[in-house]
Structure formats: structure tokens, C-alpha cells
Chains A and B, each alone.
Chain A
Amino acid sequence: AQTVTQSQPEMSVQEAETVTLSCTYDTSESDYYLFWYKQPPSRQMILVIRQEAYKQQNATENRFSVNFQKAAKSFSLKISDSQLGDAAMYFCATLGGNKLVFGAGTILRVKS
């Protein structure tokens, strides 16, 4: 079984500042992947970043990076130089086998 926990229902960040969204997970799979997805008000689910669990190196994608702590089963997302367009619901998800299991999401508000 897989579970994903996002303990921050809502976060705020000032434009151009850095914010970190937290995620912990549990899985019985030995080969799994972790993702962060962004869902703006349009409700289109957009892939932000992907991490293979067998890779120790943290994934980065432009202003987005992760801190993957496999032993602690932690997978946080850091957004640098926050922009107004980053405002959205962010979901952490784990893929084990063939299905994605999502957390409850964190609403990110960006203040100008």
C-alpha cells in the first residue's frame, strides 16, 4: 500500500522569495517514482518535477528542486524566485506499479 501526506494545507510566499512544500510518503514498492504536480484554478494537472527513487541525486527543473530523503521517506519541493504564476494547488504523488497515489495537496499563494 502507498500513502502520501502533505501536512501544509496552505502556504504563502512573497514574489521573488523561496518557499518549500513538504511531503512524506510510505510505500511497499522497491522500485518507485515520486512527483510534484501543479494544479492551477483551471484544474489542469501539470507535471512539475520527477524523481526516481533509485537515484540519490535530487532532481531539479529550472526554479524547482526537490530534497529527497529516502530513509526518512521525505520528498519536499523548493520553489526559488517565486512568481505570481506559481500560485496553485501542489500535489505530491508516488508511483508504484501502475497507479499514482496523491496527497491532499498544498495551496500556494504568491503575494506581490
Chain B
Amino acid sequence: ETGVTQSPTHLIKTRGQQVTLRCSSQSGHNTVSWYQQALGQGPQFIFQYYREEENGRGNFPPRFSGLQFPNYSSELNVNALELDDSALYLCASSLAGGQFKGTQYFGPGTRLTVL
């Protein structure tokens, strides 16, 4: 069974640029959630995708957008990067139903630095 994978591992961008982060869900999982974790804090929910549709969104501006593909993999796009966007971005996959519904399994994260 393949776990959640994310790419790239690290990324450095400058203010105003755009970035795309990628996530492959755990085998058999149909739901992907994205979180932002600033240093020293708990993760904050950005949004969730289920069956290629956004299925809930946290308190993040529209310049944070996403996609989910038919194979359940997902992208997080951030436009007009700001210094405060520097963080660890975590992707988590889960199943929408079954015995372990909702239990989210995390990838290793992408560390984004905005200069």
C-alpha cells in the first residue's frame, strides 16, 4: 500500500510569484485535504477535495486554489505569494466512508519559503 506523497520537498519563491504543490493520495483514498502549518503552530485547514469538487474551505483567501484529478491526486496553487505564505504545506488523504471514514493520513509536506 502506497502512502501519501508530496512534491516538491522544498521550494523557494519570491514575493508575488505563483506556486503549485502536488499530492498523491494513499491507495484507495478518494478525499484530499490541504493544511498550512506555520513554524511552531498547529496545522490550519485550507480546503478539501472530494470527487474533484471543493468540499469545504477554511479561512484562506481566493488566491489559494486547488484541483483534484480523476486518480484522486491533487494540486494546491497559491498566487501572488506573500511573505506570510512561508510555511509547511501538508496534504492528507482519507476515505469518505467505511470503518475509518474521515481519518486523515498525512504526506511528508512541502516546505515553502517566500523571500
Chief secondary structure at chain B's binding surface: strand
Shortest B54–chain A CB gap in Å is 10
Complex: chain A residue closest to B31, CB-CB:
A98
CB neighbors of A among B34-56 (8 A): 35, 37, 41-45, 48, 50, 55-56
Check if B42 sits within 8 Å of A105, measured CB to CB: yes
Complex: chain A residue closest to B108, CB-CB:
A44
- B104 CB within 8 Å of chain A: yes
A43 touches which of B55, B58, B92, B109 (Cβ 8 Å): B109
Complex: chain A residue closest to B88, CB-CB:
A43
Interface size of B as a range? 20 to 34
Chief secondary structure at chain A's binding surface: strand
* A contact residues around B108 at 8 Å (CB): 42-44
Check if B104 sits within 8 Å of A100, measured CB to CB: yes
- B33 CB within 8 Å of chain A: yes
Q: List 11 A-B contacts (CB under 8 A).
A: A44-B107, A45-B106, A46-B106, A47-B104, A50-B103, A91-B42, A98-B50, A99-B56, A100-B92, A104-B41, A104-B42
* B contact residues around A103 at 8 Å (CB): 42
* A contact residues around B104 at 8 Å (CB): 47, 95, 100
* A contact residues around B45 at 8 Å (CB): 99-101
- A64 CB within 8 Å of chain B: no
How far is B98's CA from A93's CA once the two chains are assembled, in angstroms?
Answer: 20
Check if B43 sits within 8 Å of A98, measured CB to CB: no
